Structures are given as C-alpha cells and as structure tokens.
Amino acid sequence: MPPKFLFLGVGNRDRGDDAVGPRVAEKLAADPVFQRLNVDILSHGGEGASLMDLWQGTRKTVIVDAMKSGAVVGTVRRIDANADRLESGVFHYSSHLFGVAEAVEMARQLDRLPEALVIFGIEGRIYDFGAPLSPEVESALEDVTVQVKREFADA
C-alpha cells in the first residue's frame, strides 16, 4: 500500500547545488515535529520511471530538486504539477535523461499523477562533483524546508 504522504528530496549529494533535495530530506527526517505528520521521507537520484512508481497512489507528494531555468541563483519556485505543465530540461541536473519534468508529464498522460503533486525548484549554479552548495542555495534551504512543512501541515 503506498504512503498517504510522501516527500522526495531529489538530487545527488556529491554534485554541488544538486544536493539541495537530499539536504532538505535530512532536515525533515531530523525534525520531531515533522515526523508526527506521518510523511514518508526519501532521498532519490531523480530517475523518472522510479519516481512515478513511488508517488503512484499517494494523496500528496512534495518534491524538492535543483533547477536551471535562468532565474537568479537561490530563487525558489513552487509548482503545482497537477495544474501546471513542466518544461523539459529545467530539472535536468542528474545523469538521467528521463527526470522529474519528464516523469510528471508522462504520468499526466498515463493518469498516474498523485492526488496532489507539488514541486519546489531551487535555482542552482554549481553542479560539479565534490562541490558544496552555493551560498545562495544554502540560504534558500531553510526557507524551502519551512515551505515543505507547511504543505504537509495543511494537507
């Protein structure tokens, strides 16, 4: 049976700003107040077919991932994926060709989106192996974590 609520921190801990999703997952997992909300918390590499399997049947799934859209580094964008289409390539900083945006659009076509799917994209700059988070993304990390908590508190 799929979890009712799911958080997916998408990214690679070893690739600079791409680590932001897993870092949010770590913060949520360490928060005793958030743990009482009964949300499954996972870090995920971003492979699209696997994402579709994980969120299928959930009442609400929230994803945090680094993006590259041309916005100012550290900008946080909230996307209601049930209502808005995602641009291909914006969340393409994993080694997978079929990532978050492609998974969402494929799931939309197959009628396999969760009841509610919210994606927080954080504009990144540094994606080099071994690099730390950029200061701008590090600054956005706490704000995004608070926003994710609100998403589930209101569910």
CA distance 34 to 76: 21
The more confident residue out of 143 and 69 is 143
The more confident residue out of 90 and 62 is 62
CA dihedral (119, 125, 128, 133) in degrees, to 10, reads -70
Please count the residues of the chain.
155
User: Which ranges in 2-153 belong to alpha helices (H)?
Assistant: 20-29, 32-35, 48-55, 100-109, 135-153
Q: Which domains does the chain have, with CATH numbers?
A: 5-126 (3.40.50.1450)
| Residue 102 pLDDT | 86
Question: How many helices (H) and strands (E) are present in the chain, helices listed first?
Answer: 5, 5
Would you say the pTM of this structure is higher than 0.85?
yes
CA distance 68 to 89: 8
CA distance 132 to 128: 9
> pLDDT by residue (tens digit) across 79-128?
999 998 876 655 654 444 678 888 898 899 999 999 999 999 999 999 99
| Residue 2 pLDDT | 63
What's the average model confidence in pLDDT over 30-49? Answer: 91
The overall average pLDDT reported for the chain is 90
| Residue 98 pLDDT | 74
| Residue 138 pLDDT | 96
| Residue 154 pLDDT | 79
> pLDDT by residue (tens digit) across 41-52?
999 988 888 999
What's the average model confidence in pLDDT over 124-134? Answer: 95
Residue 56 per-residue DSSP state: T
Report yes or no: 42 and 94 within 8 Å, Cβ to Cβ.
Answer: no
